[in-house]
Amino acid sequence: MKLLLVSPGWERGRLWGELGFKFPSLSLAALAAVTPPAWEVALCDENIEPLPLDTDADVVALTAMTPQAPRAYRIAAEFKARGKTVVMGGFHASNLPDEALRHVDAVVVGEGDLVWPQMLDDHCCGRLQRLYRSPSLIDMTAIPVARREIFAGKRYLLTNTLQTTRGCPFDCEFCSVTAFYGRKYRKRPVGSVLAELETLRKANSFAFFVDDNLVADRKYAMELFAGMKGMNFKWLSHAPIDFARDGEFIAAAGEAGCVGMFVGFESLNQQALSAMGKVTNTARSYLDDAKVFRDNGIGILGSFVLGYDGDTPDVFERLLRFCEEARIEAAIFPILTPYPGTDVRRRLEAEGRITSDAWEDYDMEHVNFRPVGMSADELQQGYDWLNRAFYSLPSMYRRIFKLHRSVQVFAPMNFGFRSALKRTKKRTAIGDVP
């Protein structure tokens, strides 16, 4: 039997569709790892290669985030028209399984590790069910190493992506992670992670931990950092801003090779932080916190959510000034997006403020709700201006052109975002968008 795993492409003319550097889907490699040996597994990532509509695969499996869902449904229609069995999982299908089932033969809700082999067996036996939902969360000791050989020959920046934990102990209003993985923070054995890292060293000295919060359990993370010290990895992951307030902890990360962290600042407004449930953030200490990261050799990819109720049109310039003063090495500025399954969607629905369910526009670049402190047009224009200003050459010079070990990662990242934004603007201007 043959299985084709498909990662739908991002639309051109959108920031994420124009970025030149591509990373593989670890979730698909994880599914490949629990696929029974009798199955031949192949991967198509539409972001870097054309879709093989003439495949001889018996089952086509799709995963999609919300803005990719319309493309995933079109792909499903193409393969179903050719007589293929099509199944789907991921964040969007898990939150809206009834919608997904209008397009595919079966949906896997939530973590698929436990039910995936059963689904494939049901297909072979002619008893495929419409919905598969695991009765429990997988024991983290049972997670096999991802089958990265499915990435071979593809033009990824790196394939050394791995996950050590699942879930997040926090419950931010806008975040879809809690809805998918839950608030229980589950950890793989440190020994298993270190053994996997040993195999990855043969491929690349860079690694990216995709954990939503690598440092939520101090004892666990310290054991991991101690084991990584001396392995000569340069690695990135995610951490909250209050990581800076534990000097021993953040120093251990730096000594273990950390060169960058994705950090959710989210807002400079403390009231907005409280409203969104960002309990770890204290806006008045951001400048000092950012300096601690930098002093430990760790650059920051910051995230700032635009459009919360406390935001007014002056927020864009204030954010730019802060990022330059704090020397934030790179940043994204997502527009508040009411993803299915999130608390913010439930709140905005109750308030009658959602204006669109065009899922392709749920890409954090478009306004899909009525803001309070400004108009939708002001929010959209402010988002566009802030991105252009932040990735302008003068701003890049002020933020990153200093002697710092993270520059090897963040200088190319800045130029990558700058080029993607220019291509996005050009395609939009000439109407060359799907």
Cβ neighbourhood burial of 141 (10 Å; 0-12, 13-18, 19+)? exposed
**AA letter at 200:** L
- For residue 434, what pLDDT is reported? 47
Q: Is there a contact between 385 and 316 (Cβ–Cβ < 8 Å)?
A: yes
Single-letter residue type at 226:
A
Which is nearest to 426 in space by CA: 18, 21, 11, 16? 18
**How many whole angstroms separate alpha carbon 65 and alpha carbon 91?**
5
Condensed to tens digits (0 to 9), the pLDDT of residues 283-302 reads 889 999 999 999 999 999 99
Task: State the pLDDT at residue 430.
Answer: 56
Please answer whether residues 109 and 131 qualify as being in contact, where contact means their C-beta atoms are separated by less than 8 angstroms.
yes
For helices 315-326 and 393-400, the axis angle rounded to 10 degrees is: 40
Distance (Å, whole) CA 96 – CA 354: 17
What integer pLDDT is reported at residue 357 of this predicted model? 97
Residue 335 per-residue DSSP state: B
Distance (Å, rounded) from C-alpha 49 to C-alpha 154?
8
Q: Which of 111, 114, 209 is nearest to 160 (CA)?
A: 209
DSSP 306: B
pLDDT at 405: 87
**pTM exceeds cut of 0.85:** yes
Q: Which residues of the chain have pLDDT under 50?
A: 433-434
Q: Is the dihedral of CA 398, 402, 405, 408 positive or negative?
A: positive
Q: What is the pLDDT at residue 6? A: 98
Residue 221 DSSP class: H
d(CA 189, CA 177): 21
